[in-house]
Amino acid sequence: MNSSGLKFTFLMPLMVACLMAASASIFHNDFDITWGDGRGKIVNNREVLTLSLDKASGSGFQSKNEYLFGKIDMQLKLVPGNSAGTVTAYYLSSKGSTWDEIDFEFLGNLSGDPYILHTNVFSQGKGNREQQFYLWFDPTADFHTYSILWNPQRIIFSVDGTPIREFKNMESLGVPFPKNQPMRIYSSLWNADDWATRGGLVKTDWTQAPFTASYRNFNADACVWSNGASSCKSNTSPSSASTNRAWFSQEMDSAKQQRLQWVQKNYMIYNYCNDAKRFPQGLPPECNMS
């Protein structure tokens, strides 16, 4: 083998290692562990973040950046075994009394019983837009990708690339839509056995503690908000100088619509738009739109 071949043979593994490192999220660059007194940890060469819960405390983290529109991906592996009473929350939120919020919450359950994925959208401090789902896999056995696509027209919740919920901008009907308040990413693992599992009937079994959830492969293709300005040129169009932001005007094609319908037919277990008893004065206006 000539010298150039030897150099290539030596450099190739190094190049591959560098590419792999560049593609993995280095958590301390993007997030701060904000509470839990050591129960939140960044491990595995700073590529995995874990949150733990015991009887004394849970734990949580938040993003260093605020975002105003974007596509946010995170891989999670949820608390295994008897996770009843625990909640793993992963969400976007602004601050103040008229905050906006886009929620994934994972409600634990007894061993062998399915997790409940709880979603909600708050705009100007008003929520009450819950939809809940079972998942079509065991979310504790491996990592799965949970995504929020948020643009001025719609919010799409997805799991492993499959849309499970769409919340459209219906300001024309008087429905507030989150579009003016930058939001941080937050996550926490905490005890909610007063309501989380079967309405609070099943309590947390502390003999199973500590409970641990894991996170990896964070990605934000998003408009970062800093010092009162967006990294995109405006709040209504993406920066032409930035990378291609297809998500900014993205909507679901027919294949995605079919996947959404499949999930909602087979795995949705609660939809506020079907809960007439909860809204005796009439369902919210967005519920009347197909």
Domain parsing of the chain, residue ranges: 27-226+247-287
How many angstroms separate the CA atoms of 221 and 70, rounded? Answer: 6
State if pTM tops 0.75: yes
- The sign of the torsion formed by the CA atoms of 196, 198, 204, 207 equals negative
Kindly state the tokens that stand for 211.
């409970």
- CA end-to-end distance (rounded Å), the chain: 67
Can you give the pLDDT at residue 236? Answer: 54
Q: Which residues of the chain have pLDDT under 50?
A: 3-23, 239-242
Detail the DSSP E strand segments found in the chain: 31-35, 40-43, 48-53, 59-63, 66-77, 86-93, 101-107, 116-122, 131-133, 144-150, 154-159, 162-168, 184-191, 211-226, 229-230, 268-271
Q: Is 66 a catalytic residue?
A: no
How many whole angstroms from its chain centre is CA 129?
16
Q: Is 47 a catalytic residue?
A: no
The residue annotated as part of the active site, out of 101, 130, 166, 171, is: 101
How many angstroms separate the CA atoms of 259 and 218, rounded? Answer: 24
Instruction: Name which CATH class applies to 27-226+247-287.
Output: mainly beta
Kindly state the tokens that stand for 79.
């608390």
- The sign of the torsion formed by the CA atoms of 216, 111, 52, 123 equals positive
* Residue 66 backbone zone (phi > 0: left; psi -120 to 50: alpha; other: beta): beta
Is 283 exposed, middle or buried, given 0-12, 13-18 or 19+ CB atoms closer than 10 A? middle
Neighbours of 250 (CB within 10 A): 15
How many angstroms separate the CA atoms of 158 and 116, rounded? Answer: 15
Kindly state the tokens that stand for 244.
């291609």
Can you give the pLDDT at residue 19? Answer: 35
The residue annotated as part of the active site, out of 66, 105, 130, 251, is: 105
How many whole angstroms from its chain centre is CA 211?
19
Is residue 172 classed as helix, strand or coil in its secondary structure?
Answer: helix
Kindly state the tokens that stand for 40.
């939140």
- Alpha carbons within 13 angstroms on the beta-carbon side of residue 287 total 14
Can you give the pLDDT at residue 20? Answer: 36
How many angstroms separate the CA atoms of 148 and 101, rounded? Answer: 11
Q: Which residues of 41-65 are buried (b: 16+ CB within 10 A; e: fewer)?
A: bbeeeebbbbbbbeeebbbbbbbeb
